[in-house]
Structure 1
Amino acid sequence: MSDGGAVLIAGCGDLGQRVGRLLLAQGARVFGLRRRARALPAGIEPLSCDLAAAVPELPPVTWVVFCAAPDSGDAQAYRAVYESAFAHLLQALQAQPQPPRRVLLVTSTRCYGQNDGSWVDETSPVSAGDAQTASLLAAEALLHGSGLPGVVLRPGGLYGAGEGPLLRSLREGRAVCPAGAPRWTNRMHRDDAARAIVHLLHLPDPQPLYLGVDCAPADQGTVLRELAALYGLPPPPTRSVPPPRVNRRCCNARLLATGFRLLYPSFLDGYRALAAATGAVTGQR
């Protein structure tokens, strides 16, 4: 950061490493904390600790990003990350002689349980519809009750690291376009998510909460058909499938109002760039 303060990235996986590289390019000192921290990009100083099991010993840090991801989708994995690990990190930060200037917590738009296709934003009600969502909301409550200055970023579905589940389902012939009314999906390219995190760390007077999504919520069937055309794959069939648990469109107006601009405003922008980078583009749309 511009004042020379050190940044701690806790849960320094793919997203955290993207954040770290951006911060290193700005001249920051960056620590990356994970269970096995040896394989980090050059310049990110490794800290090894299983946060779910222990309170870490930390160097003095000015800025903190918590972007750990559960090992799986089950409730126990979510509790380990968003309740145990995050609580241990806050405990370590509260014990420092000089508290950090900002703690940025990455959770998820999973907190929104609306299923009528309506728009949601930072003021919309959330619901703990399952144990995983309850853990996400518990982490946010821990941050806001910690006495530390905190910001929460709730990103949509992140993509941009390898092929991803959508393309795999198309290549393996498992993808199905749901019949009937639109089933809205919300996503954000991982590079834009990393840039948003760095942007919010710099922001002089942030709001306590931001949604991290692109500008174009998209119907699931539309996404699958466009990706099939882009990659030269057979279009998936349209069939009746069970209704989704959630169906809502997430609004990024608050994030954009801070001056943040997306590299990839829609899923098609992002996937076109991915396909071009891998030489996989076969369709011209």
Structure 2
Amino acid sequence: MSAPTVLIAGCGDVGSRLATQLLAAGWEVHGLRRDVSRLPAGVIGVAGDLFNKDCPATWPIGAVDYLVYCAAATDHDEAGYRAAYVQGLEHVLEWLNDYGQVPNRLLFVSSSSVYGQQDGEWVDESSSTVASGYSGRVMLEAEQIALKSGIPASVVRLTGIYGPGREWLLTQVRRGYRVAVEPPLYANRIHADDAAGLMACLLEADRRGVALEDVYIGVDDEPAALADVVGWLRGYLGVTEWDDDSSVRRTGSKRCSNARAKALGWTPKYPSFREGYAAIIEGRC
């Protein structure tokens, strides 16, 4: 059997981690990003801009067995999100059409921001999606474009991604970050390696002929109250001072379930924030 080909459109941090895992499994990987010099060794670079309707000159001309759309917004406002997730996806679908390429499956990387639950409810793929902000609304629109593209598609709704280079919370904790304790503010997270691992699991499952669902949530095994995460990190880092500012209260509080992804055979390498943050702090990932 010839090596399957995958095009990762928006091959940044998570996309590059996915590329590395797929290369190790024998896949032919094409990565689309502006600066292809930053792609992992072994990835075939496709120098292009998802925000530009012109097809990249180095677009692969052979078969594209799988497409992973893994973009990131450069401007964090509604226009920026629309450019990255709606217009960018439309451009890639047009480029595929121009070359007569019909992938076996499209994975669209979305976000748990499509869920507007705020009272600590458990959320799964069947839960209502009533997004409270523009990010969730734009993501829902983009999801529909993917699901109605004519290509078999699955949406991967990732929760808060953390990992090396994504250390905002660690920085805040070191500064004495305060979080409201009651009512609990539940947060959901997934290590960047596990986000990539989930997508690799989905691609390999499709390749084996497993029937995939339309939607999967990417989250670790233990959604946790943010105050508990901060408390654990303070102890691990030896932080004893508190910031003088009042407690921070973020909007939104829900607990996302990974039962569907785990039923497919995926197991997170970092099942909770403890293992994931410890690996970051100790330089093991």
Q: Normalising to structure 1: TM-score of the pair?
A: 0.91
| C-alpha separation in 2, matches of 1:278 and 1:142 | 38
Match of 1:283 in 2: none
- Matched residues in 1 for 2:5 and 2:250: separation? 43
Deviates more, 1:201-210 or 1:94-103: 94-103
Unaligned runs of 5+ in 1: 280-285
In the alignment, which residue of structure 2 is the partner of 1:11?
Answer: 10
Determine whether 1:179 maps to 2:181: yes
Deviation at 1:244, TM superposition (A): 3.7
Q: Would you say how many aligned residue pairs link Structure 1 and Structure 2?
A: 277
In the superposition, relative to structure 1, how do residues 82 and 222 fare at CA in structure 2: closer, same or farther (>3 Å)? same
The amino acid of 2:184's aligned partner reads P
Structure 1 segment 1-285 matched on structure 2, within 5 A: 3-57=2-56, 58-59=59-60, 60=62, 61-162=64-165, 164-173=167-176, 175-203=177-205, 204-234=210-240, 236=242, 241=247, 244-277=250-283
Dislocated runs of 4+, deviation >4 Å: 235-243
- Between the aligned partners of 2:284 and 2:17, the Cα distance in structure 1 is 19
Identity %: 38
**1:97 Cα deviation (Å)?**
2.5
The Cα of 1:189 is off from its aligned counterpart by 0.6
| Shift of residue 236, structure 1, vs aligned partner | 4.2
> Taking structure 1 as reference, are residues 206 and 278 closer, same or farther at Cα in structure 2, changes over 3 Å only?
closer
Q: RMSD value over aligned CA atoms? A: 2.0
Higher mean C-alpha displacement, 56-65 vs 244-253: 56-65
Structure 2 residues without counterparts, runs of 5 or longer: none
- TM normalised by structure 2 equals 0.91
Partners of 1:179 and 1:240 within 8 A in 2: no
Q: How far apart are the structure 2 equivalents of 1:130 and 1:188?
A: 21
Whether the 8 Å CA contact 1:113–1:245 is kept in 2: the answer is: no
